Each structure stands twice: as C-alpha cells, then as structure tokens.
Amino acid sequence: MTTATAPASVSRQHSAPHPAVHACDAGRFEIRPLAAPLGAEVIGLDLSQPLTQADFARIHRAHLDHHVLVIRDQRITPSQQIAFSRRFGPLQVHVLHQFQLPGHPEVLVVSNVVENGKPIGLGDAGHFWHSDLSYKERPSLGSLLHARELPAEGGDTLFANMHLAWDTLPAALQRAVDGRQAEHTYLARYAELQQRSPWRPDLTPEQVAQVRPVLQPVVRTHPETGRKALFVSEHFTTRIVGLPEDESRALLDQLFAHSVRPAHIYRHRWQPHDLVFWDNRSLLHLAAGCPPHLRRVMYRTTIEGDVPR
C-alpha cells in the first residue's frame, strides 16, 4: 500500500498562471489555468460581497473544467464561507463533531494547534490519499478549505487527477475494474491513525453508526461532465467486491500507485487567505504535513454530492 508521504519526484507547483487565460475572463475577476495537470487560479474575486448569478456560473464552469480552484485573498467570515459553499448544494457535517467550529457545525477545523491540553481541530486530516467522505452513500461533491493561519514552512496540499488516472490506466486494468464495486469505510485506517497522533478520539456508538461501510463503483462517471474517473483511495477503500482477498489487494495496490503518479499531481503551496475549492468526484488529495511546532489553522466546508454511478 502506498504511504502518505508526498512523491519525491513531484516538484512544487507554484501558482504562476499558465499563459492561456479563458476568453470569457473579461469581467471583474480572472480565471487562470495553472501550469499543472489540473487547477486554476481565481484572481480578483471577493466572496465577502454578493456574487451575481453570472459570476457564480463562471465559477461553477471553471470548477468542472479544472477540478481545483485557488481563489486568492479571501478575507471572509465562516458564515460567508458557508453561504458560498451552500450555493453548490447541501453541506455535510463531519462525523468528528469534536472539531466543529463553535457556532458553525458545518465548518470542520483542520489544525495542529493544541490549547489547554486539547486539540482545537483535526491535526492529521489528509494523512493518506483520499476523496472526502467517499465512505458515505452520498459522498462529497467538493470541499472548500480556507487558510486562516499558515506555517512558515510546509503545509502543502497535493491533488491527483483521477480522470487522467483512468485515461492513462492500461487497457487490461481498465477491463479488470470497470463495472466493479469496492468497499469504502471511514474506519479502514482509523486505529492506525489513533496510534500515531492525539487527534483521533474514540468514536461513540452513534458516530460509528454514521460511518457504516458502503459500496461504491471503482470507476465513477462524473454526474455533470460525463467523464470517467477512478474512485478508490488508500485511506478508505478496503476491498474490491467479488474478488479473493489477495487478488483484491494486488489490484487495489496497482490502482493506488497509478493514481498518484507525478504526471497526475498538482502541489498547492498555500498563500495567506487562499480559499481552495476542489472536486471530490474528480480528485484525490493529500496533506503533505508541516513541522509540529508551527501553527496551521484551516476551516473546511464540505458539499454533499450524489450517489456515484
């Protein structure tokens, strides 16, 4: 199984824009594709102000086209982040209610900060490659992560393009997995994470009931674009249904390794007040980590998606 370490061969992708800029970017803000296998930078948008339907439509289209939007310099409140997120659909509340932002249960605090002997957020979020909430019957459409406090070094987030992973998968492997289902469970590596860090509390019976294992297609079709994507991850996918355990494990290991090849990856180096909005139907992501003595505080909202097909 692959590990959570960032591939050494992946260079840090700076957010310098690609020379091409969308022809429709003549309005209040620009959408600039990144020089990477996915992603675009949004410059000049202020989400603290009302967003017109036309502007929202541009953001929605860009999100489908590029899978990750890096929306720069967003000096927004949690309520404003929630309001923008809700325009894409209902929000999902994370099972670890211990790390909800007080007064805003829709916001998961992602942080390595410990205050009064207790962590204020989920400090090891994203330790393994995954798609958010793939372990739910209706996994996440997308997630929005807002930088509130950044470390002086480290803290990068890596994204892997699962459409490219499918497109470049050898034909024999495509035939082996297309049409199959796999089990996803939040508990797959929970005990392992508990042993490594202080951020994974024991789950109550009620919390366990919220994350019962589900079956998802190994290859899903994006409901809005029709593109196929691999939909398995080292964090939450445990087995391929209908295969002996050894065959299932060998096949999953091949899919995991192929998914996160350097050619599929964009590495995001955070800037102050970045709001990063990614499509969980199209991508896996990974937190590269930062030195434990450097504070990192992020606010995450998560949009509910559809039942994968």
Residue-by-residue DSSP string for 24-53:
T--SSSEEEEBSSSS-EEEES--TTSPPPH
> 210 in a domain, yes or no?
yes
Catalytic site includes residue 146: no
> 7 in a domain, yes or no?
no
Q: What integer pLDDT is reported at residue 17 of this predicted model?
A: 36
Q: 130: which DSSP letter?
A: B
> 144 in a domain, yes or no?
yes
Burial (0-12, 13-18, 19+ Cβ within 10 Å), 193: middle
Q: What integer pLDDT is reported at residue 135 of this predicted model?
A: 98
> 61 in a domain, yes or no?
yes
> Catalytic: which of 63, 66, 285, 296?
285
> 93 in a domain, yes or no?
yes
Q: What integer pLDDT is reported at residue 196 of this predicted model?
A: 82
> Catalytic: which of 130, 184, 222, 281?
130
Q: What CATH number should be reported for the domain holding residue 46?
A: 3.60.130.10
**pTM of the predicted model, to two decimals?**
0.90
Q: Residue 199 and residue 5: Cα distance in Å, rounded?
A: 19
> 205 in a domain, yes or no?
yes
Domain with 277, as residue range(s), is: 30-304
What is the full per-residue pLDDT of the chain (309 aa) written as tens digits? 333 444 433 333 333 333 333 333 345 899 999 999 999 999 999 999 999 999 999 999 999 999 999 999 999 999 999 999 999 999 999 999 999 999 999 999 999 999 998 999 999 899 999 999 999 999 999 999 999 999 999 999 999 999 999 999 999 999 999 999 999 999 999 999 998 877 888 999 999 999 999 999 999 999 999 999 999 999 999 999 999 999 999 999 999 999 999 999 999 999 999 999 999 999 999 999 999 899 999 999 999 999 999
> 19 in a domain, yes or no?
no
> 20 in a domain, yes or no?
no
Burial (0-12, 13-18, 19+ Cβ within 10 Å), 26: exposed
Catalytic site includes residue 285: yes
Q: How many domains would you assign to the chain?
A: 1
